[in-house]
Amino acid sequence: MFCAKCGTELTDNSRFCGNCGEPNPSIVKPASSIVPKIRMSKRTKLITAGITGVVVVLAVVYAIAHYTYGPSSPEKLEATLQAAVDEHNVDKLADYLSDENADLTTIEKLDAFKQAFNDDTAANYKKGFKEALLAEQQFSKMNEFGIDWGDEGTIVFVKESNWRGTKWSYTIKPSSVTFEQQPEWTVVTSLATLPSNTGTLSIVWPAVYEYKSEVSNKYGGTQTIQGSVDLFHNQEATVSLTREVQAGITFLMPQIDGVGFTLNGVDFPALEEGQTRVRIAPVPAELKVAAKGTLLGRTIDITESVNGSENEEVNLSTLVSQAIAEDVAEVILNANVSWTKAKNAGTASLLTDIDPNSPIMSSFSQGMYEGGTETKVHLERIAIDPMSIEIYSDRIQVTAEEEYSYPGSTLSNNISSNTYTITKRSDTNGLWLTETSRNYFWSSDLLERNTAMIKTNPEKPVLGDSTVG
C-alpha cells in the first residue's frame, strides 16, 4: 500500500505516512454519517400532543373506572350494605341497587322509605342482607353440582360484568298495598309521604309504613283512618277500610211506586234484586231524610232529621206513613161515623167513604134493621199508629182502635180493633175503605199511646134523632 499523497510505500499497520504524514486510509475510520433532522410543523406538533393527552386520559379514566366500579365480591357488598344500614343511609342503599330496581330510586319512593326507616326496619334489612349473602354462598356451591337453588328471597345479590370489570349489587322484590274500599266512597290515602287516589300503591320499598286514609261519601259522611302496614314480611298487603269504618247507619228501604227517598238531598243508591236495606258509612254529622212523590193520588213531601247515634236502623216507610197518616185516619173516622148513622137509622144509604163494590160494603150493611136500632151507638174517637201503616204501591193497610158509646143507655163504652185496607177512589182523588177485618185478640192500649194519632168525632149524639153517629 502506497501513500496517496507522496507515493511512499506504507506498511499495513502504519497509521500515517513516514514521509509526508498523510493518514493511512486503511487504518483511520471514516467519519460517521450525520442524519439530518426533519422539522415538524406547529399543526403536527399540536395533533401529536393531543393524541398523546387523550391516550393518557383514557388510560387514567379506565384505571379509575375499573378500580372504583363497585364491590368485587358478595362479601364486600354485604359489608358495605350493613354499614349503610347502621348509618340509616337510604341513599347509599339505593346506590348499590341493581338497575332493574330503578323504579325504587325515584325521589318520592326514597322519601317515603326514609320516613319508614326506623330501628325495626334497619333490623329487618340487616337480617335480609345477611341472608342474601348466605344464599349467594350456598348457591355458588350448589351450582357447581348442578343443584337447583329454588325460589329466591326478598333480597338477592347479583353479579354484573361489563367493560369496567365485575361488581356486585343487589335486587329487592318491591312491595305493594291495596286499600279495599266501597264503590260509593271517595278515598284519599297516603302511605308515609306517598299519596294515592286509586286505592293502590305499587313498587315501594319493603318496610313498615304508617298510612292515613280520608274516607268520604256523597252524603257528607267523613272519617279519618290511621294505621300501619308491614310491607317487609307481607309484600302484597291488603288493608280493608270497610272493616275500619265502623260507624254506619242502616236504612230500611220501602219500594213504593212513585215515591223516592233522599239523604241530605242526595238519592239513595238503587237497590239490587232482593235487597231491602242500605247501609251508609261513614255517618254524616247531619242526617236529613226526605220522601217525595205521589201515593194513591196524595202528594208526599216530607223531610225529617234522624239521630244516627241512637238509631240502629231507620225505616224510611215511616216518612211516608207520617205523610199519609192524617188522610188515613180521616177516612177511617168518616167511614165509622157513617156506619153508626146508617145503623142508627137502619139505612145503608148513609154509608160514606166506603167502596160500594167492595166486600166491606156488605159487611157494614149487615145487622141493619129497618127503622134503625133501639139502642143508639155513637163513635167517640178512633186511633191509629202511623208507624204501623203498611204501604204498598196500590193500597194501604192499617190497624185502628175505635171507641163507641151508647147514649141514653146504661151500656159502657166499647173499644174494638180492626185492620183496614184503603185504596184510591176510582171516581175522585180521594181515598176509601175496600176491606176490613175484626181483630179479636189484641191488647187495648192504642188509644193510650203517645205515638198514636187520635181523631175525635166532632158531632155530638142527639137522642131520638137518626143523625146520632
Distance CA 434, CA 416 (A): 19
Band (pLDDT 50/70/90 cuts) for residue 120 is very high
Q: Which residues, in sequence order, are bridge partners of residue 287?
A: none
The whole-angstrom separation of Cα 164 and Cα 289 is 73
Cell numbers representing residue 426 in the block: 176510582
pLDDT of residue 367: 63
Strands 266-267 and 165-172: unpaired
* SS3 of residue 89 by DSSP: coil
Residue 65's pLDDT band (cuts 50, 70, 90): very low
pLDDT by residue (tens digit) across 336-379?
999 999 988 888 889 999 999 888 888 777 667 666 678 899 99
Query: Looking only at Cα atoms, what is the longest distance across the chain?
Result: 202
Q: Give which of 288, 267, 378 is closest to 333, Cα–Cα.
A: 378
d(C-alpha 462, C-alpha 469), whole Å? 8
Nearest-angstrom CA–CA distance, 231 and 215: 22
Predicted local distance difference test score (pLDDT) of residue 248: 85
Instruction: Look up residue 14 and give its three cell numbers.
Output: 502504519
Predicted confidence (pLDDT) per residue in 216-254, tens digit: 999 999 999 999 999 999 999 999 998 888 778 999 998
Strands 396-405 and 390-391, sheet pairing: antiparallel
Distance, CA of 457 to CA of 119 (rounded, Å): 82
Render pLDDT for 79-118 as a digit per residue (tens, 0 to 9). Answer: 999 999 999 999 999 999 999 999 999 999 999 999 999 9
Dump pLDDT digits (tens) for 255-293. Answer: 888 899 999 999 999 888 888 999 999 999 899 999 999
Per-residue pLDDT for 75 more than 70? yes
Place of cell 141514653: 408
The answer to whether residue 36 scores a pLDDT higher than 60 is no
For position 113, what pLDDT does the model report? 96
Can you state the angle between helices 74-86 and 119-144, rounded to 10 degrees?
A: 170
Measured CA to CA, the distance from residue 230 to residue 214 in angstroms comes to 20
**Is pLDDT of 29 > 70?**
no
User: H-type helices in 89-118, by residue range?
Assistant: 90-95, 107-116
Alpha-carbon span 48 to 319, nearest angstrom: 100
**pTM here?**
0.65
Residue 271 has a pLDDT of 87
370 in Cβ contact with 345 (< 8 Å): no
Q: Would you give the end-to-end CA distance of the chain in angstroms?
A: 185
Sequential DSSP letters for 36-63: PPPPPPHHHHHHHHHHHHHHHHHHHHHH
pLDDT tens across 376-426, in order? Answer: 999 999 999 998 899 988 899 999 999 999 998 899 999 999 999 999 998
User: Which residues, 6+ apart, have CB-to-CB distance to 249 below 8 Å?
Assistant: 279, 280, 281, 283, 287, 308, 311, 314
Using CB atoms within 10 Å of the CB of residue 170, give its burial: 0 to 12 exposed, 13 to 18 middle, 19+ buried: buried
CA atoms of 154 and 25, how far apart (whole Å): 93
Query: Residue 290 has what pLDDT?
Result: 96
Q: Which residue has the higher pLDDT, 1 or 247?
A: 247
- Decide if pLDDT at 32 tops 60: no
E strand or H helix at 10: none
